[in-house]
Amino acid sequence: MILARAEIVSNVWKIVAREGDQVGAGDVLAVLESMKMEIPLYARAPGHVSKILVEVGQIVQEGDAIMEIDETAGA
Amino acid sequence: MFRECDVPKTDHHEVVEASAPADQRAVLTQRRTNRFARVEPKGKRVYTARERAEMLVDDGSFVEMAPMRSAGAGAGSGVVAGWGTTDGHSVVVVSHDAAVASGAIGAVMAEAIQKAQRFAIDKGYPIVYINDSGGARIHDGIFALHGCGGIFALNIEAQSRIPQISLILGPCAGAAAYSPALTDWTIMVKEQGQMFLTGPDIVKAATGEDASAEDIGGSALHTQVSGVAHLEVVSEEEAFDATRLLLSFLPTHKGGRQKRHDPVPANPRAAAALPTLVPEKSSIVFDMDKLLDGVLDNGARLELMPTHAPSILTLFARLDGHAVGILANQPNARGGILDSKASVKAARFVEFCGRFDLPVLTFVDVPGFLPGTVEEGRGVITHGAKLLKAYVDTKSPKLTVVVRKSYGGAYIAMGSASLGAHANWAWSGSEIAVMGPGGAVALLHRRALKAAEEPTVLRDELAAVYREEVARPYLAAEAGIVDDVIHPEETRDRMVAALRMLTHGSGQ
């Protein structure tokens, strides 16, 4: 299991992937909003989304976990 | 006095000398055979110190300085120092010999390194340090420390004279980690090179922390988190290739001739895509690398620190055949913001370019300096100020183009006219302002917005007016703060013309 983390202090603007979704490397998991920029959070490796740890509108700090991705169950 | 112990009584070379005094040719041959005998490298190392030096330079060009120098027992000084050429240009090489006391730096080894440094500085040749050393040689005591200090002093003297590149090809502790920190660019081989103040055993004894050599000083730590090293490669060969590529962009010394190549047009497909590459909506990210492809010569590039503070790109490339340094915001990483680490990375790069007269081309799409408790705690003000200073101090040609947005202090920091840009332009769709339209309107029209029945509608209307009437680059162009407003596809020609003018058409 790996954690997809926020790369910048931001506000969770959109959650794109849902729990249980299969995702591929480079897929957009969520979109964070900071400095008036829409900052995509990408999956680094294929896997499935085992848990979403934040809600839309939540403020997250750099390094905060956004989602749990289970690599072993991935394609 | 410490050198007396450098010539031990039981040196096996003396046996050779005694047995064949009449045949000096045989003696020399035997001595060379002994000295150059290959000691199989240990651990992940693939090549010996001498092989590494030979591989770095053009085939057959390596000449070893003082190959007989010894720190005792005929084993060598602990370093292979000499010179050769890369692509025909002279370079000085210092290669730590891990087969002699783990490459630990004793008095004699330090003296041999300093001799090479002095030679490089005086003659004006770049120097490459191939580091593979456990640090100061404890047996040499204060003489080892004094020697290491002498190496550092020459590292610092060299900064204003010649490019210095450090390769980390083994575990480098203490002095062997500090010397690279005083050089310009450091390249580490993954899972083979480490840099730390002291290794895992002493860390454990000193603080109780249990950490592996990779945890304390591996290439992942230093190329991603700390920024101590600037490039991670996967093999010794790749480290030498990267060094040669890096040297191909640099003059041999301060004031030396810039290495001009034949001009190459930009990648035609990328150039054709320029007018539509940047998303109109300023909040949508895009890949700045693709923009650079459409402007720069289509050929070799070298990005430094690609995985550290990736919201800013620092790379060497060519424009119209000139070697140039590129500083560009990367919207694809953290929105392209400037923060403490990005500022330090950018300032270091611009400062280097200025020191060696390399033109600096700045491509701007920056939402601002990242504010907040974390960044203020990291000292973003101090670090941001370093970038301002680097630009002002740099006297080489400075060309800047704003490709989308440039707000506030980050506008100034990104090679603005006020910091001495020799030529600067803004793309027709760009915005230059003290802050983005949303924030500006909220401040300027606070009362009207508070009184409005539908504040969001009014805010959007006011923001649109602000964007067109205030933020568009025509105000800046009319005031002479940007030289001109241009179409994206005009960027290359404008930059080429400016570079030819600023270098007197000569590459200087």
Which tens digit of pLDDT belongs to each residue from A31-67?
Answer: 999 999 999 999 999 999 999 999 999 999 999 999 9
Residues B65 and B190 in one domain: yes
Asked if residue B335 has pLDDT above 90, the reply is: yes
Tell me the two tokens of residue B325: 């340094």
State the DSSP H helix or E strand holding residue A65, giving kind and residue range, or none if neither.
Answer: strand A65-70
Comparing CA positions, the residue from B348, B169, B303, B323 lying closest to residue B252 is B323
Whole-number pLDDT of residue B10:
46
State the DSSP H helix or E strand holding residue B199, giving kind and residue range, or none if neither.
Answer: none
List for chain B the helix, strand, coil content (%; round to 5): 45, 20, 35
Cβ <8 Å between A35 and B438: no
Comparing CA positions, the residue from B328, B347, B334 lying closest to residue B288 is B328
Asked if residue B1 has pLDDT above 50, the reply is: no
Q: How close A19 gets to chain B, by Cα (Å)?
A: 25
Residue of A nearest to B439 (CA): A36
Residues B234 and B357 in one domain: no
Q: How far apart are CA B366 and CA B507, in angstroms?
A: 30
Domain spans in chain A, listed from the N-terminal domain onward: 2-70
Range of the domain at B63: 46-248
Report the pLDDT averaged over residues B285-312: 97
The pLDDT confidence band at residue B210, using thresholds 50, 70 and 90, is: very high
Asked if residue B3 has pLDDT above 60, the reply is: no
**In this structure, is residue B452 part of a structural domain?**
no
pLDDT averaged over chain B? 93
CB B167 within 8 A of CB B187: yes
Residues B122 and B52 in one domain: yes
Q: pLDDT > 90: what percent of chain A? A: 88
**In this structure, is residue B274 part of a structural domain?**
yes
Three-state DSSP class for B142? helix
Residue B504: which region, alpha, beta or left (left: phi > 0; alpha: psi -120 to 50)? left
Q: How many CB atoms lie within 10 A of CB B497?
A: 12
Residues B25 and B124 in one domain: no
Q: How far apart are CA A9 and CA A12, in angstroms?
A: 10
Residues B302 and B230 in one domain: no
Phi, psi (deg, nearest 5) at residue B68: -85, -10
CA distances from B260 to B318, B380, B487, B500, B505 (A): 9, 37, 28, 12, 11
Report the pLDDT averaged over residues B16-22: 54
Whole-number pLDDT of residue B21:
59
Residues B212 and B288 in one domain: no
Q: How far apart are CA B464 and CA B282, in angstroms?
A: 13
Per CB-CB distance under 8 Å, the chain B contacts of A40 are 285
Interface test with A, best of B334, B341, B407, B411 (most A CBs within 10 A): B334
Q: How close B269 gets to chain A, by Cα (Å)?
A: 24
CB A54 within 8 A of CB A8: no
The pLDDT confidence band at residue B22, using thresholds 50, 70 and 90, is: low
The pLDDT confidence band at residue B5, using thresholds 50, 70 and 90, is: very low
Per CB-CB distance under 8 Å, the chain A contacts of B329 are none
Comparing CA positions, the residue from B375, B304, B373 lying closest to residue B338 is B375
Q: How far apart are CA A68 and CA B65, in angstroms?
A: 57
Cβ <8 Å between A8 and B331: no
Asked if residue B23 has pLDDT above 70, the reply is: yes
Which of A37, A61, A62 has its CB closest to that of B367? A37
Which of B248, B283, B304 terminates a domain? The answer is B248
Asked if residue B501 has pLDDT above 70, the reply is: yes
Asked if residue B13 has pLDDT above 80, the reply is: no
Which of B217, B248, B279 terminates a domain? The answer is B248
Q: How far apart are CA B274 and CA B267, in angstroms?
A: 11
**In this structure, is residue B465 part of a structural domain?**
no
CB B54 within 8 A of CB B95: no
Please write the tens of the pLDDT for every residue from B220-260. 999 999 999 999 999 999 999 999 999 999 999 999 999 99
Cβ <8 Å between A38 and B285: yes
Domain count, chain B: 3
pTM comes to 0.92
Under CATH, which number does the domain A2-70 receive?
Answer: 2.40.50.100
B134 touches chain A (CB under 8 A): no
Residues B210 and B236 in one domain: yes
Please write the tens of the pLDDT for every residue from B126-182. 999 999 999 999 999 999 999 999 999 999 999 999 999 999 999 999 999 999 999
Please write the tens of the pLDDT for every residue from A4-41. 999 999 999 999 999 999 999 999 999 999 999 999 99
Whole-number pLDDT of residue B439:
86
Comparing CA positions, the residue from B53, B252, B63, B95 lying closest to residue B158 is B252
Residues B68 and B52 in one domain: yes
- Give ipTM to 2 decimals: 0.89
Report the pLDDT averaged over residues B455-477: 91
CATH number of the domain to which B359 belongs: 3.90.226.10
Three-state DSSP class for A20? coil
CB B126 within 8 A of CB B97: no
Comparing CA positions, the residue from B365, B384, B353, B243 lying closest to residue B292 is B365
Residues B352 and B485 in one domain: yes
Q: How close A48 gets to chain B, by Cα (Å)?
A: 24
The pLDDT confidence band at residue B72, using thresholds 50, 70 and 90, is: confident
CB B171 within 8 A of CB B131: no
Per CB-CB distance under 8 Å, the chain B contacts of A37 are 283, 285, 331, 335-337, 367
Residues B244 and B296 in one domain: no
Q: pLDDT > 70: what percent of chain B? A: 94
Per CB-CB distance under 8 Å, the chain A contacts of B333 are 7
Q: How close B216 gets to chain A, by Cα (Å)?
A: 20
CB B419 within 8 A of CB B392: yes
